[in-house]
Amino acid sequence: MVGKILKKTKSILFANPRVLYESERHLVNKSFYFKGVNNKAVLLLHGWTAVPYELRRLGIYLNEAGYTVYGPMLSGHGTKPADLEKVTYEDWLNDSRRAYHKLKKEYAEVFVGGTSMGATLSIELAKENADIKGLILLATPYKIKLEKVGRILTIIFSWFKKYQKKFYPPTFGFKGTITRDISYQVYPIKSVLELGKLIELSRKDLEKIKQPCLIMQSSSDHIITRGSLKRIYEKISSNVKKKKYIKKSYHTFISDIKNEHVFEEILNFIKSI
């Protein structure tokens, strides 16, 4: 089925995310690894409560351009919400480190990117590994909206309940988003606190980042502050850096809209380095 879709569209770039998802349900809870031909690799890290599938379409697109692309499953994800309760932010950091070093053993040039928490992990990898060729930061949370109040409420809620159901705003004309289908729709409150620790860590020492960097964020993001993109852009020390807001899109815009222009910008950025 997927082959027929790609043959008809000539490229994953023009495949409808919803149609593609319906034919790939069996791949949702799996990591992906696409072998390329140009001896360059890209590591793509998924977001909190999500799975690598949210970056799979981008991965196929980059692979079509010759790159090896790896999307690993982070600890506590792709199974059941209870498994996420047992995981710390250090586990996610170690997952991302192992994935990066796996690629680095085979490829001299490795780009690292991710969406939401995956972008936060990418930032930490870049601080630790100056040889990362370039960074792709999508929907990166420098700060969460109402962060201080949210932290207090989260701590209080954790005394009385273990799980919380997700909230979604209107989705710009989309009746249902892929994110709702592939992510946990309830999450352990304890895990929110771990995510908060990771975000706090990522805000420190941003000046250590000197790699070329592409930063993209939805202008209508309901989770992270609009200023997140600007703050990260201003604090990193990269000589080559680019920023862009994506209109009429959800927080995880990389998977929820037909975003040909986003894919093209990411590929053009990688090619330019």
Find the domain containing 160 and state its range.
2-272
Higher pLDDT, 271 or 154: 271
Smallest Cα–Cα separation from 69: which of 238, 266, 272, 258?
266
Q: Where are the alpha helices (DSSP H) in the chain?
A: 2-9, 17-23, 56-64, 81-84, 89-104, 117-128, 147-160, 178-182, 189-203, 227-235, 253-256, 260-272
Q: What is the pLDDT of residues 64-85, one digit of tens each?
A: 999 999 999 999 999 999 999 9
Does 105 score more than 70 pLDDT?
yes
3-state SS track over 182-222:
HCCCEEEHHHHHHHHHHHHHHHCCHHHCCCCEEEEEECCCC
Q: Give residue 268's pLDDT.
A: 97
Between the alpha carbon of residue 267 and those of residues 82, 178, 214, 239, the distances in Å are: 37, 23, 11, 19
pLDDT bin (cut points 50, 70, 90) of residue 2 is very low
Does 3 score more than 50 pLDDT?
no
The token pair that represents 212 in the structure block = 């070329």
Within 10 angstroms of residue 35's Cβ, the number of other Cβ atoms is 11
User: Are the beta carbons of 151 and 236 closer than 8 angstroms?
Assistant: no
Smallest Cα–Cα separation from 261: which of 246, 241, 243?
246
Does 17 score more than 50 pLDDT?
yes
Q: Is the pTM of this model over 0.85?
A: yes
Q: What is d(CA 160, CA 47) in angstroms, rounded to the nearest whole number?
A: 26
- In angstroms, how far is the first alpha carbon of the chain from the final one? 35
Q: What is the CATH number of the domain that holds 178?
A: 3.40.50.1820
CA angle 187–190–196, rounded 5-degree value: 95
Q: What is the pLDDT of residues 200-257, one digit of tens each?
A: 999 999 999 999 999 999 877 767 887 899 999 999 999 999 999 887 777 777 876 6
Q: Give residue 162's pLDDT.
A: 80
Q: What is the pLDDT of residues 120-164, one digit of tens each?
A: 999 999 999 999 999 999 999 997 755 555 565 666 666 677 888
Within 10 angstroms of residue 80's Cβ, the number of other Cβ atoms is 11
pLDDT bin (cut points 50, 70, 90) of residue 187 is confident
Q: What is the pLDDT of residues 108-121, one digit of tens each?
A: 999 999 999 999 99
How many distinct structural domains can be found in the chain? 1
Name the percent of the chain lying above pLDDT 90.
60
Q: What is d(CA 175, CA 183) in angstroms, rounded to the nearest whole number?
A: 16
